[in-house]
Amino acid sequence: MAGGAREPLLQCRGLVRTFGALRAVDGVDLTVKQGEIVGLIGPNGAGKSTLFKMIAGVLPPTRGRVIFRGRDVTSLQPWERCRRGIAMTFQVPEPFSGLTVLENALVAALYGAGDPRPRAEARSRDAIGFVGLWDRRDTPAGRLSIAERRRLDLARVLATGAELLLLDECLAGLTPAEVDESVELLRRVRDEGRTIVMVEHLMRAVAGLADRVVALHEGVKIADGEPAAVMADPRVVAAYLGDEGGA
């Protein structure tokens, strides 16, 4: 498991998000250490994506705080958080379809990281090469397969230079072989010094990849610990694994 002596990279304190009478996220505390891969699991509607959006700044919390590298970033806009080191992918990849693969990564480096042009070009080339899309660099993103689009999504967050990557169902829609390839790629991302929090429904992938698993149910954190312990927790089995048949 990822080392125990490191200072937290991310701390969420009492995060609440309401939509009218609905409490989508209800008082969630979350700590992520530098270099960890944390799996965030739960049934549909558990509040996982809403929590991600609050961390990334896409949604403001109704209550609570987001602390990154020891600084309160709760009031910062998404682009400000990105430049401080937080980047997020969404459930459905939405690249700039008319731009090439390389141009998509370049936009991320220019505007997500705020890099000057020469550095942005170098960073975008590195990101595209890292995810294995170099041979597709001049291909319009609209022509990519779903697996390639998900790799491009990863390349774009890497091109921002972000230290904390929030990956929302980055394995969805992939074949078993593509899942295995993506798991190895995410291990390499962590080995390069990044920290990953990933929303995922594929329990096999979460168990094999995550250092720690956090489970949400109806907006509440119900478990947080090593993957095997969390997945065996009766509350998690009842709330999620039973519904999914252990998929």
* Domain edges within the chain: 1-76+199-247
Burial of 58: CB neighbours in 10 Å, binned 0-12, 13-18, 19+: middle
> 225 forms bridges with which residues in the sheet?
213
The percent of residues above 70 in pLDDT, for the chain, comes to 94
Q: What is the CATH number of domain 1-76+199-247?
A: 3.40.50.300
pLDDT in tens, 54-92: 999 999 999 999 999 999 999 999 999 999 999 999 999
Predicted confidence band of residue 239 (pLDDT cuts 50, 70, 90): confident
Strands 212-217 and 220-225: antiparallel
Does residue 124 have a pLDDT over 70? yes
User: Torsion angle of alpha carbons 171, 147, 105, 197, nearest 10°?
Assistant: 10
The mean pLDDT of 36-51, rounded to a whole number, is 95
Here the tokens at position 41 are 């699991």
| Inter-axis angle of helices 176-191 and 146-159, nearest 10 | 10
pLDDT at 2: 45
Instruction: Give the residue, 247 or 71, on which the prediction is more confident.
Output: 71
The mean pLDDT of 173-183, rounded to a whole number, is 95
Does residue 243 have a pLDDT over 70? no
The mean pLDDT of 215-226, rounded to a whole number, is 96
Does residue 171 have a pLDDT over 80? yes
64's CB contacts (< 8 A; 6+ apart) are: 12, 13, 14, 15, 16, 27, 28, 54, 74
Amino acid, res. 109: A
Three-state DSSP class for residue 16: strand
Predicted confidence band of residue 4 (pLDDT cuts 50, 70, 90): very low
